[in-house]
Chains A and B, each alone.
Chain A
Amino acid sequence: MEIQTLVLCATLLCALQAIRAPRLLISALWLAGCSALLALSIALLGAPEVGVVELSVGAGLVTVIFVFAISVAGEETVGTTSIVPRPLAWVLLALFLFLLILLTLPGFLLPAVPREALPFLRALWDARSLDTVLQVAMIFSGVLGSLGLLAERKESGRGSGGARQGASS
Chain B
Amino acid sequence: MSGGVWTIVMVAVFGLVAIGIYGLLIVRNLIKIVVALQVFAKGTILIMVAAGGMSGRPAVGQSLAITVIVADTVVTVMALALAIQVRRWCGTLDTRVISKLRR
Contacts and interface: CB of A to CB of B under 8 A. Distances in A.
Interface of A: 1, 4-5, 8, 11-12, 15-16, 18-19, 24, 27-28, 31, 34-35, 38, 41-42, 45-47, 49-50, 53-54, 57-58, 61-62, 65-66, 69-70, 72-74, 76, 78-79, 81-84, 86, 89, 92-93, 96-97, 100-101, 104, 107-108, 110, 112-116, 118-120, 122-124, 127-128, 131, 135, 138-139, 141-143, 145-146, 149-150
B15 A53 contact: no
Interface residues of B, number: 76
A62 to B, nearest CB: 6
Interface string B63-74: 111110111011
B1 interface: yes
A83 B17 contact: no
A66 B76 CA distance: 9
A6 to B, nearest CB: 10
26 contacts: A11-B42, A12-B19, A15-B15, A19-B23, A34-B39, A47-B61, A49-B62, A50-B45, A50-B65, A57-B69, A58-B42, A58-B69, A66-B31, A76-B29, A76-B87, A84-B26, A104-B47, A107-B54, A110-B55, A118-B60, A120-B58, A127-B59, A128-B64, A142-B77, A146-B78, A149-B82
